[in-house]
A and B are shown apart, each in its own frame.
Chain A
């Protein structure tokens, strides 16, 4: 597979990021967790959004639990 011009969703410093292959190869090994690779920016962005929405849902559930 050729990964030039593809996009990744990664986790770095407890944040999700969408990053191009060309930028990813410049990152220090082990400084991030590669979650998924996508052919297009749109697909990567959609996955990024899903992960953020999940994190928000988890945080909301924790807050609701504290409020009880």
Chain B
């Protein structure tokens, strides 16, 4: 079975939007606005969501905050089967408890990163961590996706040997890897190693242009330009070029590169939230959760000018 066939068989394919999370003035999750954002993406045909992943500032929210937001969006009509929920902790008991609670609300897919820990640990320790986590979760028919952070957040990535052992011991639970690493070689190596046994989804959009056609991706840019990302992973460039007024025709991969170039000098979550605040005409979308930082006034002015030149189109 190839990676694409596996993706289809476990129902994890297409664009999974790494959802940006709107905040209230007190920096708690603005649940109605979050549900509204998911509803708007659904209306555009994008109904698969990663909640509290990297773009969703997942590590900054407590388990209770996440569970409350998940309950709200499900109540608002989002299908729990279309959610991949981010989980991170240094305690496998906390992760297992969180998964059980979200499972009770109908969520079946979980994105779990390696534990943050202040002592070096080896691959045996990492295997034991996830093995215990799965045993303590003790629920049927759920899916574990390992979140490889590429060295971000001080959490180690799982080595291939640990991933292989986990797959061997828990073949029905551990089904995929979401690779946050910016280096395309990292994703290519994972695909090469697990092509016939695990789904490997890349998160770094410029890598998608190299990996395409591919069957699945987790994308933060899809918050603002979902159709472009859809065309990129389908390698459907020729028929979906964007005619930007006053500029040459740009293929979807060109548009990704163009936007990534703009965002490169700024914190990505804050920059994307600024872009979304312009789309919705809601300044409140600019808020980020500490320790993430707001854009400076100067950065905001420069970015807004760059977004104007970028000229996001309705069909993107």
| A61 in contact (CB, < 8 A) | no
- Chain A's nearest CB lies how many Å from the CB of B121? 42
Among residues 23 to 42 in chain A, which have CB atoms less than 8 Å away from a CB atom of chain B? 29-38
| B167 in contact (CB, < 8 A) | no
A-B Cβ contacts below 8 A, count: 37
- Chain A's nearest CB lies how many Å from the CB of B232? 18
Decide if B314 touches A54 in the complex (CB within 8 Å).
no
- Chain B's nearest CB lies how many Å from the CB of A68? 21
Question: Which residues of B are found within 8 Å of A31, using beta-carbon distances?
Answer: 314
Decide if B279 touches A35 in the complex (CB within 8 Å).
yes
Decide if B43 touches A37 in the complex (CB within 8 Å).
yes
State how many residues of chain B have any CB contact under 8 Å with chain A.
16
Docked Cα-Cα span, A33 to B40, in Å, equals 12
Among residues 232 to 282 in chain B, which have CB atoms less than 8 Å away from a CB atom of chain A? 279-281
- The answer, among A29, A34, A51, A54, for a CB contact under 8 Å with B43, is A34
- Chain A's nearest CB lies how many Å from the CB of B316? 10
A contacts with B: majority SS = mixed
Docked Cα-Cα span, A34 to B280, in Å, equals 10
- The answer, among B40, B78, B79, B281, for a CB contact under 8 Å with A34, is B40
Decide if B40 touches A36 in the complex (CB within 8 Å).
yes
Question: Which residues of A are found within 8 Å of B281, using beta-carbon distances?
Answer: 35, 51, 54
| B152 in contact (CB, < 8 A) | no
| A1 in contact (CB, < 8 A) | yes
Decide if B77 touches A30 in the complex (CB within 8 Å).
no
- The answer, among A3, A8, A33, A36, for a CB contact under 8 Å with B36, is A36
| B72 in contact (CB, < 8 A) | no
In the A-B complex, the 6 residue pairs with the smallest Cβ-Cβ separation, listed nearest first, are: A37-B43, A33-B314, A30-B315, A1-B42, A1-B77, A30-B314
Complex A-B: 16 CB contacts under 8 Å: A1-B42, A1-B43, A1-B47, A1-B78, A3-B42, A29-B315, A30-B313, A30-B314, A32-B314, A34-B40, A34-B43, A34-B44, A36-B40, A37-B39, A37-B40, A38-B39
Beyond A32-B314, A35-B280, list 20 extra A-B contacts (CB 8 Å): A1-B47, A1-B77, A1-B79, A6-B43, A29-B315, A30-B314, A30-B315, A31-B314, A33-B314, A34-B43, A34-B44, A35-B40, A35-B279, A35-B281, A36-B36, A36-B280, A37-B39, A37-B40, A38-B39, A54-B281
Residues of A within 8 A of B (CB): 1, 3, 6, 8, 29-38, 51, 54
